[in-house]
Amino acid sequence: MRVEIIAIGNELLNGDLADTNTARLAGWLRRQGLAVRRGQTVPDRLDAIVEAFGRAAVAADLVLVTGGLGPTSDDITMEAAAAFAGEPLEEDAPTLARLKARFADRGYPFTANNARQALVPRGAVALDNPVGTAPCVLLEGQGATFFFFPGVPRELEHLIHLHLAPWVAAHADVRPYRSILLKTFGKTESSVATELAALPLDPRVHIAYRAHFPEIRVSFHADEGDAAVADALLAERREVARAALGALIFAEDEATSLVDVVAAQLTARGETLVTAESCTGGLVAAMCTDVSGSSRWFLEGAVTYSNAAKTRTLGVPEALLAQHGAVSEAVARAMAEGARERSGATWAVAVTGVAGPTGGSPDKPVGTVHFALAGPDGTRHARRRFPFDREGNRIVSAWTALDLVRRAMI
């Protein structure tokens, strides 16, 4: 079954709102094993909408349309559907009755505008919308089936399950999509791709990469109708990818973040963490405390931006700062060790670097960052040179610090 999506609304083409409904519909469709071939975004203009309908009907069997079903004069999706189908708009009596009852129930006045929402093209089917006013409309036109949904995401979600799901189950040869996800951190997309490109791949398995800064996501999808065979193919691929990528993989599902992994490690071991940050300026601490329950393992964070603060709060010797500069291995180590000693935590991670855009020098260019992790077995150090802007360098530095903690506990 060939599927297309059309999103309608001036607000989607003037910068006021990003269209999330296409992704919402597409995600649901994928979970049914259906792929979307194309999306169109059109303003609330009759000719543009009718043209989009015609174009979709040529290439698709099922066309899902969102938006333009509201009660105001700029909502003209039903007019366009009528023009496209070559049928007049007619009042749908059950919908009008439902609307009037809904308004009476809430004590709202029922205006002529509101009655517009009961108009559908002759021959179309107005389906119930228990969570809003606009009906969900089903229309057969020019060889394709059209579903019209309100643009309000909450209503759309509800109507997908209420009306689209049973229709798809009855009409499409549904084949649930089987895939696996590996979330990696620490190498670029092209390096990860190079690692995996050398491994022979069954032609039924497709690989996709996605940069979800600063992580690189690798997913495998089995294009195979037999679920057991698909699962076996993916399980084999998971093992191969794990062997190739090793510790680069920090999670294998959508929901688990890097800090979730660190939190689980620390909680399981009954250990604690403190942070000592310069260039990341509190981002590592903010990531840690973003997780509910982090008070069990996160004790404290120091954002020692000035040299004086590094000395006063973490005990970094002034002489060390004078000799090596704040952005140095020696100072990173002293920050971590000072933070660990003063707090009594199991682990202390420190970050000091040049986030940019200013502050770089020939021997310490922008993007240079030193990391240190002090733990029960001593202190380890890492140095990186990041190529991003200030915000990017700060984010990837915060991730690198947390990843250092994660790898120390693998």
Applying the rule CB under 8 A, the residues between 215 and 274 that interact with a second copy are: none
Whichever of 87 and 300 has its CB closer to a second copy, that residue is 300
Angle among Cα 44, 165, 133 to the nearest 5 degrees reads 45
Residues 45-74 touching a second copy, rule: CB under 8 A, are 48, 52, 70-74
Dist CA 134 CA 7 (whole Å): 16
The residue among 88 and 130 lying less far from a second copy, judged by its C-beta, is 130
Is 176 in a helix, a strand, or coil? coil
Interacting residue with a second copy among 1, 20, 315, 409 (CB under 8 A):
20
Nearest CA to 247 out of 410, 364, 57 is that of 410
Contact with a second copy (CB under 8 A) among 63, 159, 261, 284: 284
Q: Residue 374 Cβ, how far from a second copy at the closest point, in Å?
A: 17
41 binds a second copy (CB under 8 A): yes
| Token pair for 103 | 């308004």
What does DSSP say about strands 347-353 and 368-375: parallel, antiparallel, or unpaired? antiparallel
CB of 239 or CB of 391, closer to a second copy: 391
* Closer by beta carbon to a second copy, 123 or else 174: 174
Among positions 308-367, residues that touch a second copy (CB under 8 A) are 308-309, 312-313, 342-343, 355-358, 367
- In the complex, the smallest distance separating the C-beta of residue 180 from a second copy, rounded to whole angstroms, is 14
Dig out the tokens for 277 from the structure.
Answer: 């940050």
Residue 375 near a second copy by CB under 8 A: no
Backbone angles phi, psi at 184, to 5 degrees: -120, 155
> Which residues are within 8 A (CB) of 85 and not within 5 positions of it... i.e. 6 or more apart?
121, 123, 124, 139, 141
**Minimum Å distance from CB 44 to a second copy?**
9
C-beta of 282: minimal distance to a second copy in Å?
Answer: 3
Assess 135 for contact with a second copy (CB under 8 A).
no
- Whether residue 368 contacts residue 396, with contact meaning beta carbons closer than 8 Å, is answered with no
Which DSSP helix (H) or strand (E) runs through 351? strand 347-353
Smallest distance, Å, CB 123 to a second copy? 27
